[in-house]
């Protein structure tokens, strides 16, 4: 029987909505749709872009069956990508439609890029041949079509010269394909001379990247050891095999320097992918990745959902970085999902870090990942000499936050015309403002957090919801005038203190509050690298990936800051962040120093940093996690219940707890809470948390799915978010 002639074919289509499975649509007669095809389909009163999924569509009542409206002229989403979307959805307990939406984030890219106008030489000759015209004719003599500006540029003439020739019929207009957004990388362009250590590592990586099978390799090398240089060789190997490559970076918008290094090595830049990209550029990158024109993407975590057609290697730089975790809608960790992507696509994955996550370290220790060590800095650069400043013994002067020991060291550094970096992971001027008469504290009306004073902007700002208000003269509680005091330091306040001590020094404050956004930040970073500042005060923005050649002192204003927050990764995080930030010093061979202001110099983290004995630190942390059955030796998931009122949030959180499958049935899974979240209110929503804890083998997802099915549906303003492998416990 000829099926086509008796009934329309029904196919499943994944629509970008919170749906659990694809919807069924009819395919109009004579239209061919292959799995992965990107389609326009009617959905309610609207039309949306969806993806043709695999197999047959579920049967639908004929009256309800609607037809697809359009098959876009666009490469289909590869099977690997469809399996990846399903995998991420199942793992994170997100509706697959919402995960699919992340792969469809460039709607205008589903239509082919329009051709651009090109010019091709005809048989006509110009009436008069000037020197400029002569040059144009010489370039165009190859018979190829040129863009108007390309030809003008190549011949070194103004475009009016070209226009004159067009007017005389010397050129004809033809359509040419749009130019690639980036040039093709050349793997033999700037091959560096590697040190023996690097050489060994590079050979191993080349082997892995050339093997066309799944593997994970962890490059564990101190800051400045040449990890980037080494993984570029894996990139070269993958490109030589005709594969596409994805390099994930935690802070892509700031990594201009990375793009330039890539250019030095491959003679072309990689395509960038991040949230600051202009929409038009975004669409072109998406399209050219799908078509295979773009061979290398350097991007933020969302680049993992680009429609690569020949992906053969993913590199995750600074793999330990918390920025890889998305905590919004689909809660996923791009580092972990990169490994999954490699497994599904059967290709190698490379993780690089100077301070690997404990998860990756344990995976390497247990043989699941291969670990490659780069123990020394490149050339004559030495790691900075670190020591603690015991703040109990060398306290700051009244009203200040910098110990005399640190101030003296800064003075000596800038006296030598070298640079100092002061690190404090706190934006603004002061994290709290209070009234000295009545004790009133300024709190955000929408969140359970203090308002942070930003003195440059003259405002009190909430860092959770963005609420801001002017700083009043009088206390709103008791009316006392001029008795409001800032408590504690932010980077602006440290800069003010430095200006008192070093009025002639050029001091720059770097944080995400900088007016002018990413562009301005890039300029400032360049200025610092060029030696146009003496002292830099910065938040964690300065910790990542920058190379400041004359920076020889890094002072950590509050080394204890991240230690006391009840997060199981507090010590690990602090160790990673402080290693990274002190690693900014001494990158060009000069002797360099790192000073940690701390009230607990005997703390394990401080001792590890100062002795440089990371091994002992990792061993102790691993033991500790093993003992407490915490990740990676146990599994965690958080359920975050929020609602407009505290009562609603608490009631639903309790209902979830009651619905939890009983302990014996759940095997080795335990549920803790609910408890009010440490951040009890954010943006006007009250929050409660439950924590699900299980052994390494426990199927937390199945357990939580059963729990959510057994519980009543959230009603009214209540929302439940599931966070598998949570990184934040706030």
Residues of this chain that interact with ligand ADP (CB under 6 A) are 192-195, 198, 221, 223-229, 378, 547
Q: Say whether 359 sits in a helix, a strand or coil.
A: helix
The 10 Å Cβ neighbour count of residue 182 is: 21
Residue placing its CB nearer to Zn ion in the complex, 425 or 449: 449
- Contact call for residue 463 and Zn ion (CB under 5 A): no
Shortest distance, CB of residue 553 to ligand ADP, whole angstroms? 19
**361, interface contact from Zn ion, ligand ADP, none, CB < 5-8 Å by kind:** none
Burial class (CB in 10 A: 0-12, 13-18, 19+), 597: buried
Residue placing its CB nearer to ligand ADP in the complex, 155 or 374: 374
Shortest distance, CB of residue 227 to ligand ADP, whole angstroms? 3
d(CA 408, CA 400): 14
Shortest distance, CB of residue 257 to ligand ADP, whole angstroms? 9
State the DSSP string of 452-500: EEETTTTEEE-TTT--EEEPPSB-TTT--BS-EEEES--HHHHHHHHHH
**142, interface contact from ligand ADP, Zn ion, none, CB < 5-8 Å by kind:** none
Shortest distance, CB of residue 640 to Zn ion, whole angstroms? 17
**652, interface contact from ligand ADP, Zn ion, none, CB < 5-8 Å by kind:** none
d(CA 147, CA 120): 9
Shortest distance, CB of residue 199 to ligand ADP, whole angstroms? 9
Residue placing its CB nearer to ligand ADP in the complex, 233 or 453: 233
Residue placing its CB nearer to Zn ion in the complex, 112 or 466: 466
Among 70, 168, 446, 565, binds Zn ion (CB under 5 A): 446
Contacting range for Zn ion; rule: CB under 5 A; set: 202-210, 265-273, 465-473, 613-621: 465-473
8-state DSSP, 451: P
**DSSP E strands: which ranges in 38-104?**
38-43, 46-52, 70-71
Residue placing its CB nearer to Zn ion in the complex, 466 or 667: 466
- Contact call for residue 15 and Zn ion (CB under 5 A): no
**444, interface contact from ligand ADP, Zn ion, none, CB < 5-8 Å by kind:** Zn ion
Contacting range for Zn ion; rule: CB under 5 A; set: 188-196, 409-417, 467-475, 594-602: 467-475
Residue placing its CB nearer to ligand ADP in the complex, 227 or 625: 227
Residue placing its CB nearer to ligand ADP in the complex, 265 or 686: 265
- Contact call for residue 686 and Zn ion (CB under 5 A): no
d(CA 154, CA 671): 68
Shortest distance, CB of residue 571 to Zn ion, whole angstroms? 29
In sequence order, which residues have a C-beta less than 8 Å from that of residue 646 and are 6 or more positions away?
A: 680, 686
Shortest distance, CB of residue 679 to Zn ion, whole angstroms? 10
What residues are paired with 724 via a beta bridge?
A: 637
8-state DSSP, 17: S
Among 161, 465, 480, 659, binds Zn ion (CB under 5 A): 465
The 10 Å Cβ neighbour count of residue 556 is: 28
Q: Say whether 200 sits in a helix, a strand or coil.
A: helix
Shortest distance, CB of residue 687 to Zn ion, whole angstroms? 13
- Contact call for residue 467 and Zn ion (CB under 5 A): yes
d(CA 23, CA 4): 20
**488, interface contact from Zn ion, ligand ADP, none, CB < 5-8 Å by kind:** none
Q: Are 560 and 521 in contact (CB under 8 A)?
A: no
**229, interface contact from ligand ADP, Zn ion, none, CB < 5-8 Å by kind:** ligand ADP
- Contact call for residue 464 and Zn ion (CB under 5 A): yes
- Contact call for residue 653 and Zn ion (CB under 5 A): no
- Contact call for residue 447 and Zn ion (CB under 5 A): yes
Q: Say whether 332 sits in a helix, a strand or coil.
A: strand
Contacting range for Zn ion; rule: CB under 5 A; set: 41-49, 100-108, 457-465, 634-642: 457-465
Kindly report the backbone phi and psi dihedral angles of residue 217, in degrees, each rounded to the nearest multiple of 5, phi listed first: -120, 130
Residue placing its CB nearer to ligand ADP in the complex, 255 or 363: 255
Residue placing its CB nearer to ligand ADP in the complex, 225 or 574: 225
What are the Cα distances from residue 592, in Å, to 309, 382, 391, 419, 545?
46, 8, 21, 10, 18
Q: Are 510 and 548 in contact (CB under 8 A)?
A: no
Residue 362 in tokens:
């344990």
Shortest distance, CB of residue 206 to ligand ADP, whole angstroms? 15
Burial class (CB in 10 A: 0-12, 13-18, 19+), 82: buried
Residue placing its CB nearer to Zn ion in the complex, 334 or 462: 462
Residue placing its CB nearer to ligand ADP in the complex, 190 or 404: 190
Contacting range for Zn ion; rule: CB under 5 A; set: 139-147, 224-232, 275-283, 459-467: 459-467
d(CA 500, CA 240): 57
H-helix segments, 540-593: 570-582
Sign of CA dihedral 682, 683, 685, 690: negative
In the chain, what is the straight-line distance between the N-terminal and C-terminal CA atoms, in Å? 61
**464, interface contact from Zn ion, ligand ADP, none, CB < 5-8 Å by kind:** Zn ion
- Contact call for residue 679 and Zn ion (CB under 5 A): no
Shortest distance, CB of residue 198 to ligand ADP, whole angstroms? 5
Residue placing its CB nearer to ligand ADP in the complex, 353 or 598: 353
Shortest distance, CB of residue 315 to ligand ADP, whole angstroms? 11
Kindly report the backbone phi and psi dihedral angles of residue 675, in degrees, each rounded to the nearest multiple of 5, phi listed first: -135, 150
- Contact call for residue 460 and Zn ion (CB under 5 A): no
Residue 437 in tokens:
């008469």
**73, interface contact from Zn ion, ligand ADP, none, CB < 5-8 Å by kind:** none
The 10 Å Cβ neighbour count of residue 639 is: 26
Closest C-alpha to 270, from 205, 326, 317: 317
Question: What are the residues binding Zn ion (CB under 5 A)?
Answer: 444, 446-447, 462, 464-465, 467
């Amino acid at each position: 029987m000829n099926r086509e002639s008796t009934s329309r074919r029904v196919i499943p289509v994944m629509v970008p909505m919170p749906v659990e499975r694809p919807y069924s649509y009819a395919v109009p007669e004579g239209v061919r749709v292959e799995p992965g095809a990107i389609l326009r389909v009617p959905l309610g009163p609207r039309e949306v872009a969806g993806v043709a999924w695999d197999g047959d569509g579920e049967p639908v009542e004929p009256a309800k069956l609607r037809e697809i409206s359009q098959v876009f002229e666009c490469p289909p989403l590869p099977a690997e990508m469809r399996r990846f979307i399903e995998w991420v959805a199942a793992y994170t307990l997100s509706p697959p439609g919402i995960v699919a939406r992340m792969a469809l984030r460039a709607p205008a890219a589903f239509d082919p890029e329009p051709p651009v106008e090109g010019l091709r030489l005809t048989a006509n000759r110009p009436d008069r041949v000037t020197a400029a015209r002569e040059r144009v004719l010489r370039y165009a003599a190859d018979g190829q079509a040129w863009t108007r500006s390309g030809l003008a540029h190549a011949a070194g003439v103004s475009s009016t010269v070209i226009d004159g020739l067009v007017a005389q019929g010397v050129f004809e207009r033809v359509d040419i394909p749009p130019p690639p957004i980036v040039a093709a990388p050349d793997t033999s362009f700037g091959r560096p001379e590697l040190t023996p250590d690097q050489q060994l590592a590079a050979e191993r990586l080349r082997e892995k990247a050339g093997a066309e099978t799944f593997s994970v390799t962890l490059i564990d090398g101190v800051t400045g050891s040449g990890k980037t240089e080494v993984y570029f060789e894996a990139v070269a190997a993958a490109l030589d095999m005709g594969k596409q490559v994805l390099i994930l970076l935690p802070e892509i918008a700031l990594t201009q320097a990375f793009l330039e290094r890539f250019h030095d090595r491959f003679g072309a830049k990689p395509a960038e992918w991040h949230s600051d990209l202009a929409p038009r550029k975004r669409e072109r990158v998406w399209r050219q990745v799908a078509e295979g024109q773009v061979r290398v993407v350097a991007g933020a975590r969302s680049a993992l959902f680009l429609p690569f057609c020949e992906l053969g290697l993913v590199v995750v730089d600074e793999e330990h970085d918390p920025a890889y975790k998305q905590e919004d809608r689909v809660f996923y960790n791009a580092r972990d999902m990169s490994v999954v992507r490699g497994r599904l696509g059967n290709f190698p994955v490379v993780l690089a870090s100077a301070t690997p996550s404990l998860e990756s370290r344990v995976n390497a220790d247990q043989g699941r990942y291969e670990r490659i060590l780069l123990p020394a800095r490149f050339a004559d650069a030495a790691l900075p000499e670190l020591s603690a400043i015991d703040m109990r013994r060398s306290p700051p002067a009244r009203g200040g936050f910098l110990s005399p020991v640190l101030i003296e060291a800064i003075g000596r550094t800038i006296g030598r015309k070298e640079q100092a970096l002061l690190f404090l992971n706190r934006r603004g001027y002061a994290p709290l403002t209070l009234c000295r008469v009545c004790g009133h504290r300024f709190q955000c009306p929408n969140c359970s957090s203090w308002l942070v004073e930003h003195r440059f902007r003259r405002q009190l700002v909430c860092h959770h919801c963005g609420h801001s208000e002017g700083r009043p003269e009088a206390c709103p509680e008791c009316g006392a005038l001029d008795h409001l005091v800032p408590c504690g330091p932010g980077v602006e306040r440290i800069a003010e203190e430095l200006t008192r001590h070093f009025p002639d020094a050029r001091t720059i404050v770097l944080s995400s509050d900088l007016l002018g956004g990413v562009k301005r930040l890039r300029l400032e970073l360049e200025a610092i690298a060029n030696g146009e500042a003496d002292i830099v005060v910065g938040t964690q923005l300065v910790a990542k990936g920058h190379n400041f050649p004359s920076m020889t002192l890094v002072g950590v204003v509050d080394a204890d800051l991240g230690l006391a927050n009840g997060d199981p990764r507090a010590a690990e995080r602090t160790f990673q962040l402080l290693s990274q930030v002190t690693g900014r010093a001494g990158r060009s061979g000069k002797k360099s120093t790192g000073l940690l202001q701390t009230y607990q110099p005997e703390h394990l983290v401080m001792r590890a940093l100062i002795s440089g004995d990371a091994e002992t630190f990792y061993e102790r942390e691993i033991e500790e996690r093993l003992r407490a059955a915490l990740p990676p030796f146990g599994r965690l998931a958080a359920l975050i219940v929020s609602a407009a009122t505290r009562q609603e949030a608490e009631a639903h959180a309790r209902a979830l707890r009651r619905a939890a499958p009983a302990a014996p049935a759940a095997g080795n899974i335990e549920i803790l809470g609910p408890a009010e979240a440490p951040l009890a209110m954010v943006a006007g929503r009250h929050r409660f948390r439950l924590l699900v804890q299980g052994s390494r083998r426990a199927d937390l997802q199945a357990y939580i799915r059963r729990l959510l099915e057994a519980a009543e549906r959230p009603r009214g303003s209540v929302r439940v978010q599931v966070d598998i492998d949570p990184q934040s416990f706030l």
